[in-house]
Amino acid sequence: MDASQYKDYVLVLLFLKYISDKYAGQPFAPITIPEGSGFAAMTQLKGKPDIGDQINKKIVAPLVAANDQLDRSDFPDFNESSKLGDGKEKSERLSNLIGIFESDALDFSKNRADGDDILGDAYEYLMRHFATESGKSKGQFYTPAEVSRIMAKIIGIHDRPTSSNTTVYDPTCGSGSLLLKVGDEAGTQVTLNGQEKDSATSGLARMNMILHNNPTALIKQGNTLADPKFLTNNVVTQFDYVVANPPFSDKRWSTGVDTENDPHERFKAFGVPPAKQGDYAYLLHIVRSLKSTGTGACILPHGVLFRGNAEAAIRKNLIRKGYIQGIIGLPPNLFYGTGIPACIIVVDKREAAARRGIFMVDASAGFIKDGPKNRLRSQDIHRIVDVFNNQIEVAGYSKIVGYDEIEKNEYNLNLPRYIDSGEQEDIQDISAHLIGGIPERDIDTLSAYWEVCPSLRTDLFSHCRDGYLNLTVDKANTKQAIYDHAEFAAFMQSMADHHELWRDRSAKRLRKLEAGFQPKQTIGELSEDLLEHYRGKPLINHYDVYQHLMDYWSETMQDDCYAIAAEGWVAKPYRIVQKLKNGKTKDKGWACDLIPKPYIVARYFADEQAKIDALEAEIETVASALDELEEEHSGDDGAFSELDKINKGNVSARLKELKTNEPQGDSPGSLDEEALAEMAILRKWQTLYNKQSKLNKEKKEAEKQLDTLAHEKYPDLSIDEIKSIVIDDKWMTAIAQDVRGEMDRISNTLATRIKELADRYDTPVKTLSQRVVDLESKVNDHLRKMGFEQELEAMK
């Protein structure tokens, strides 16, 4: 099946398993599971020839009938032969799928870590996967989580008092991921409302709400523009917060909409959007759906910022009303189904009357490649939110643009008109190319380094002429000269000491963690502390340091923390069993995720590992000698020329053949000197080969013994030892290495730039011209000696 189809079955099975584990048999549960309609009843249908029909009738139908928030259209047809096959094929396919969810590991009766919705996150992960795999037209049901997080953080819901009476609305909610991020950011339970045109996707949203512990969220199905479902006294309901990621440039938005006499008065004060361009139709619906104190955010293509005609008039009216608080330009290729760049329009009615400008952020350059798409990193999200919420102006990144400047640009909001985010051009200096010397203005651009190490500049450069400098150290040694400089070395040491302060503080905090803690809260506190610890420090970007921690969290630390939250500080090795095609299993050894074997070895069995390392070094020496011997004597006349392949068997056979003619005692034998030399080489090869085999055997035995020692060490580990290994040896060491790498990158950047400038102006035109004169003179001398005197005179 296409991903857009099989997602319906996989996600629904996950949903049914979850609600059965969580709510079956529980009185007053938010979801009612009728007797005989839970997942346990579904397992009894495995193998039945009419399993699909039975699931529809005995599981899905009673569940829908018992719960108003569910609809039959939320569930796929489990008896659809065109997708699932007929007869035995359908029965086996559905039975196997149910069997996957019977695993003991999938017990959803409670989340393993209180406050962390593991299953909901898994559901979100699957939806993102399906959106990626479904192709161009199927990505509309999922907004990338990173963009959702930004929108949730910039509308201010976290900074204002909230309660169950606080209302949040998404008019094009898709699978509900954006709504959920806003609800999560609120910190308290708020009322979530959404409308989605596609019936299957609205079903995903309803299930997603339940899985994320928002079973009372109201998701309605229908066309928001033509038939808004949220009405109060036949007027569009107004909410405290509105967020949306509507379809870009919807060409069919006006179908069913009375644009001239809209009963909901969405276009009355601003103008009617173009019939084939629906972006402003959705934005105006958001404006109409906001209370007078409300805030909203909408993702739209960049075209809404500068397109003319009807859209220009709407844009002008929105600006004059003061409704647009800010614009955030996002990188291209973030969204599934399109590669075009988009922006977030932030609408704020509360401060509209007093507003005198628009805060603009050009965040288009902050992303990382992730397969065919781009993705916002943790540091990109944090920087956008910090800058926007605190209205911080950063050159080339953000700016408060007054209405007078916007009016001069005829209400065009295209970000490049106001923010120059391009890289500064590296200007070539003609005078330096002609005469020599490094332009002083280029060295001045490295002022951040000279502020930290003022004497480093004077030690690296000397005065050449007005405005120009000479490099006083060898270009090839620039990097080492920087590293060895007393001021720079002192700075690097101070930064190492600075990191140690955070490391010690964080290690103490992490040692207090016990089973049941909340990993998300822990990494939030840890990362914010690291960010603040490096904020304002010279040369290093605190967001880059923050990203190193978040990357390590994603790769390793997150899994460790969830394991500790579930089971405490327990390090238990487990066997790795591989299932073979014939149904049998193969033992592939053991592993321990929390404390992998190398950490045990490094701390407790360093001597044993050193012996193995010494054996490996000796094996490499012998192997190198073997390779050298084979290469030296593998020619046509070499000692190995008679062998089809150089191996133990062939060498032994050749030696045996030669040995029959070898001199014995007083007997001279029949071998000549060449054959005797061949025997000597073959015997040398044998000796090296046997030594290599012996060493390999010793190494294998030593590794086996070390493996046993390490495995037997785990049960003896105390909780304090486990904490020390995990926190000090594993987590903190890895983070420190990443931060040290960031510092190395800083010094490399300086050295690379200085060498680049030195190379650029190393040979001025004056020197090149003299070289040409010298070479021409040499050539002419040679020509004269060759008898071409007259020709040279004729050329003058």
638 pLDDT higher than 50 = yes
155 confidence band (pLDDT: 50, 70, 90): very high
How many other CB atoms sit within 10 Å of the CB of residue 220?
A: 17
pLDDT in tens, 511-523: 999 998 999 899 9
CA-CA distance, 67 to 521, in Å (whole number)?
34
Helix (H, G, I), strand (E, B) or coil at 325: strand
CA-CA distance, 273 to 281, in Å (whole number)?
6
- Report pLDDT for 394: 95
What is the distance between the terminal CA atoms of the chain, rounded to a whole angstrom? Answer: 83
pTM for the structure as a whole: 0.85
- Report pLDDT for 425: 82
pLDDT in tens, 221-254: 999 999 999 999 989 999 999 999 999 989 999 9
Beta pairing class for 191-196 and 218-221: parallel
Q: Is 124 exposed, middle or buried (0-12, 13-18, 19+ CB in 10 A)?
A: buried
668 confidence band (pLDDT: 50, 70, 90): low
Cα–chain center distance at 249: 29
Q: Token pair of 78, please?
A: 């489990």
Range of 145-149, 160-164, 404-408 with top mean pLDDT: 404-408
Amino acid at 224: T
113 pLDDT higher than 60 = no
Average pLDDT rounded to a whole number, residues 391-395: 95
Higher pLDDT among residues 287 and 1, named by residue: 287
CA-CA distance, 55 to 102, in Å (whole number)?
16
DSSP code of residue 274: P
pLDDT in tens, 285-320: 999 999 999 999 999 999 999 999 999 999 999 999
Amino acid at 578: Q
CA-CA distance, 286 to 274, in Å (whole number)?
17
657 pLDDT higher than 50 = yes
137 pLDDT higher than 60 = no
- Report pLDDT for 667: 57
User: Which has the minimum average pLDDT: 46-50, 138-142, 600-604?
Assistant: 138-142
Cα–chain center distance at 61: 41
- Report pLDDT for 117: 60
For residues 79 and 61, the answer to whether their CB atoms sit within 8 Å is no
641 pLDDT higher than 90 = no
Q: Which backbone phi and psi does 465 adopt, to 5 degrees?
A: -160, 175
For residues 461 and 467, the answer to whether their CB atoms sit within 8 Å is no
Name the percent of the chain lying above pLDDT 90.
Answer: 64
Three-state helix/strand/coil letters over 554-607: HHHHHHHHHHHHHHCCCCCCEEEEEECCCCCEEEEEEECCCCCHHHHHHHHCHH
For residues 191 and 164, the answer to whether their CB atoms sit within 8 Å is yes
How many other CB atoms sit within 10 Å of the CB of residue 223?
A: 17
Average pLDDT rounded to a whole number, residues 457-469: 94
136 confidence band (pLDDT: 50, 70, 90): very low
- Report pLDDT for 662: 63
CA-CA distance, 21 to 33, in Å (whole number)?
10
404 confidence band (pLDDT: 50, 70, 90): very high
CA-CA distance, 127 to 185, in Å (whole number)?
21
- Report pLDDT for 119: 65
CA-CA distance, 174 to 152, in Å (whole number)?
16
Tell me what the pLDDT averaged over the chain comes to: 90
- Report pLDDT for 554: 94
Name the percent of the chain lying above pLDDT 70.
Answer: 95
> What are the respective helix, strand and coil percentages of the chain, to the nearest 5?
55, 10, 35
> How far is CA 556 from each of CA 592, 724, 735, rounded to the nearest angstrom?
13, 17, 11
CA-CA distance, 675 to 653, in Å (whole number)?
15
CA-CA distance, 244 to 168, in Å (whole number)?
11
Helices (H), 637-764: 648-659, 673-713, 719-723, 733-760
- Report pLDDT for 674: 81
Average pLDDT rounded to a whole number, residues 56-69: 91
766 pLDDT higher than 80 = no
